[in-house]
A and B are shown apart, each in its own frame.
Chain A
Amino acid sequence: MFALFIPLVVLVIIVVLIVNRQALRSERTAWQPRRILSYTLAFAGLMAVLYAAAGLLALAVTTATLQANLLISQNDVRSRASFYLAALIVGLPILLGFWRPAQRRAAASADERDAGERRLFLAAVFATAAVVALFALQRLLAVVFTAPAPASLRPSVLDGIGAGAQVLVWGAAWLWFARLGWRERGPRDKDELHDLAVYVLSGFALAFFSYGLYAAIHDLVGDLVSAGPPLLDATGWATWGTTIAWLLAGGGVWVAIWRYDLIRGGHRAWRVAYLYLVLAVAVPTALYGAGDGLYEILRRLFGYNDSWGFLRDALSLPLVAGAVWAYHWQVVRNQATTAGAPAQDGAIPWPRRPAIALMTLLGLAVAAPAFISLVWLGLDFALGTGIALSGADWWRDRVSIGLAGGAVGSALWLSGWARLQWAARAASALERTARSRQFLLQAIVLAGALCALGFTIALLWQLIQMLLGVAPDSGAVNTTLKYAATALITAALAAYHGLVLRRDMRLRPTAARRIRVVALVAEGAEAALADLRRDGQPIEMLGHLRSALATGASDPDALRAELAALGARDDVDGALLILGAGGGHLYAYGKAPGRQAQHVDAEAAASGPWPYRPEGVPPGAEEAQAGAPQLPAMLVPPNQVPSR
């Protein structure tokens, strides 16, 4: 039943993630209920058929090869066969009934081949079949590699047969549908749903491989530390066989699918999301492993006597997570060469800046409590608060964890922050106004300031109590020192980052004044209006123009430039846009009288329509011009005003 669970989960994830995606909306054909129904039922039928086929194949092989085995009862065979046949009887007609018409439509119509529902179906089959086959491959390899182990420790041969059948059936289905998908849209073509399927499989395979690597290092170090039995005796195969299966299944599939993705290249949004997801798991794991290992090492250096068995976890976790982190970080760096590289030298290439900011924040979140702890312990030790009856154990462990957290956290924090600062120095305007840098600084300043505020109040409360005569015992003094250390560190962090933030804010461009623009739109000019609105300037539509547009209209690019320049003019409060399909006139106006002409650029005024009435032109003179729109005199472009 597990084989059915994976497709369901994958399908739900894909549907939830995709259903509102821009990528689907941009497909050439709109989503249709009939297609949704067809492909959903075809998917369900296919899953039932594959499940039943794998089960029947395993049953046939088991019956043929292990007939003499008493563990296989005839009742069990009948029960299993009935269930698989039932699944086949229901699934096959549904699959054929919905998939074959869909295939016919696809053969006849490009719209069908490009339909989002079909791309989703193919992607879901790609991801589901591959992931089920991956799980089965791991089980099959585990059976093979644990074969030398004692019978009581190794998996059943029946497991191996079942897994082998699943690999064959689901693997064949994956290959068939993958080839079909590639015929319709090549691997290098833009297909975000296929991308998502690739990264789902890649994520599973990477998790398998990482777990195998972790288990291998863990067991190897454990054997070395404990000087236990030889690595690969009969019992050892039970452990190592499973580990090798994780490594081979995960590593093989991951290398293949990842190489496929790297070769097809391209600028893929899902790849960036996948890389961020991998980093979001790998970085904290590596940090945790390194911190834990350093803590254990330090407390032993400070006198704790215990075995070195902790090295199993202390080495395996940070090594594996660190390797995954390092490799994927390199891939993130390479993404900048695909597209979106910054124009400015020295700036952090896309898409690394948010990742660096997040890692800096994570490092500081680990380092700051450690710093607080160290400052508190230092003050406590220096002042000798209370008389301790106990030995040095508490101190040893407390200081060790403070040092470990401080060292690991500050390494990440300072390296990330240094990268951000260097970039800010090289490409100041771009980097200092970057959203991720702003978010990082604001988050630190806000959290630091709030903590400093709260702990300063608590510190003053303790101090005032003492001043008012409440006799402090050792506990109260200790608490006061904790508050003081927290207030000190958080205030220092907030102050430092606040100063940086203030400096960054000075470099922000001042926002242009928002001018109210109203428009009269000629017939057929709606698209031009929509184009102008895309630049970010809101344009309020007054109505549809009933008169002909005046000649000498500005083209769309000139209009766009005039609209953009409006905000910089302090004598302008609004503008009227008369828009035709191929261009239009923009008339700026002010609420205060008498300032319309003196601020106008002469060259621009002479070159075309301009939103003012030049000096010397009498009101109403333009009314004599044949074919001109019925506009107020002051709104007529200067080059259309007749001479007196």
Chain B
Amino acid sequence: MREQRSLLILAAGTALLLLCGTVVGLAAGHQSPPAYPRNSPQAAMATYLRLLQNGQVDAAFQMTDFGGWGTTMSLDNFHQQYDTWSQRAHRVTLVQSQLTGDTASITVDISTFSGGAFGASDQTSRQTFTLERLSKGWLITGPEYIW
């Protein structure tokens, strides 16, 4: 009797955990993106990352201006760098943002997740983006490469 009860508890706990996971998956999958004020550097950053994640590399390139870094990133190079970005899921968490006149810096944690059935990997790195307000709005000026 004791064995049956403990098995039932285990099975119920497992089912509950999986159910909660499903709820979290559904809820997280349908959560609305964070709302930032229009024309804010955070909103520009979020749009830029979303375009990359959706595979819209050309549109993301339009939001950059890497000229100030000495090495001009061409569209071809940008494609080479970011065409595979959408193949892996990324979680970008805002750590810090700083606004100074027409320039801003935004520090984020980028978690990269890739799944196999039992070989999932999740790596996190911290990056600081610089932005500049130009006539087209906030543009990403660096870095050219994201690790």
A406 and B89 contact, CB distance less than 8 A = no
Expressed in whole angstroms, the minimum distance between the Cβ of A302 and any Cβ of chain B is: 4
Expressed in whole angstroms, the minimum distance between the Cβ of B11 and any Cβ of chain A is: 6
A375 to B42, CA, bound (A): 30
A568 at the interface (CB under 8 A from B): no
16 contacts between A and B (CB under 8 A): A288-B117, A292-B116, A299-B115, A374-B18, A377-B28, A389-B49, A391-B50, A391-B53, A392-B30, A393-B89, A394-B89, A395-B91, A399-B24, A401-B115, A474-B109, A475-B109
B115 and A389 contact, CB distance less than 8 A = no
A399 and B28 contact, CB distance less than 8 A = yes
Stretch at the interface among B2-10, B64-72, B135-143: B2-10
Which of A299, A375, A388 touches B92 (beta carbons < 8 Å)?
A388
A406 and B25 contact, CB distance less than 8 A = no
Expressed in whole angstroms, the minimum distance between the Cβ of A501 and any Cβ of chain B is: 13
A31 at the interface (CB under 8 A from B): no
**Range class of the B interface residue count:** 35 or more
B residues within 8 A CB of A282? Answer: none
Which of B33, B49, B89, B116 touches A396 (beta carbons < 8 Å)?
B89
A245 to B53, CA, bound (A): 44
B34 and A397 contact, CB distance less than 8 A = no
Given known pairs A389-B45, A389-B94, A407-B18, the reply for A302 and B26 (CB within 8 Å) is yes
A302 to B116, CA, bound (A): 17
Stretch at the interface among A80-88, A335-343, A414-422, A551-559: A414-422
Given known pairs A389-B49, A392-B30, A399-B28, the reply for A377 and B93 (CB within 8 Å) is no
A406 and B14 contact, CB distance less than 8 A = yes
A414 to B116, CA, bound (A): 23
A366 to B118, CA, bound (A): 7
B18 and A403 contact, CB distance less than 8 A = yes
Question: What is the chain B residue whose CB lies nearest that of A420?
Answer: B3
Contact mask for chain A residues 270-293; partner B; CB cutoff 8 A; 1 contact, 0 none: 000000000000000001111110
Please name 10 further chain A to chain B contacts, defined as beta carbons within 8 Å, in addition to the given A395-B24, A401-B120, A425-B4, sorted by A numbering. Answer: A287-B117, A374-B20, A374-B21, A377-B21, A395-B31, A400-B25, A405-B118, A406-B21, A414-B7, A424-B3
Which of B30, B46, B117 touches A404 (beta carbons < 8 Å)?
B117
Given known pairs A377-B21, A386-B94, A391-B53, the reply for A291 and B14 (CB within 8 Å) is no
B124 at the interface (CB under 8 A from A): yes
Given known pairs A386-B95, A394-B113, A421-B3, the reply for A378 and B28 (CB within 8 Å) is no
Q: Which residues of chain B (1-60) have a CB below 8 Å from chain A?
A: 3-4, 6-7, 10-11, 14, 17-18, 20-22, 24-31, 33-34, 42, 45-46, 49-50, 53
Closest 4 CB pairs of A and B: A394-B91, A291-B117, A399-B25, A395-B28
A500 to B90, CA, bound (A): 42
B108 at the interface (CB under 8 A from A): yes
Contact mask for chain B residues 78-115; partner A; CB cutoff 8 A; 1 contact, 0 none: 00000000000111111100000000000011010101
A367 to B115, CA, bound (A): 15
Given known pairs A303-B29, A406-B17, the reply for A393 and B115 (CB within 8 Å) is no
Given known pairs A394-B91, A398-B122, the reply for A389 and B3 (CB within 8 Å) is no
B20 and A378 contact, CB distance less than 8 A = yes
Which of B4, B22, B124 touches A475 (beta carbons < 8 Å)?
B124
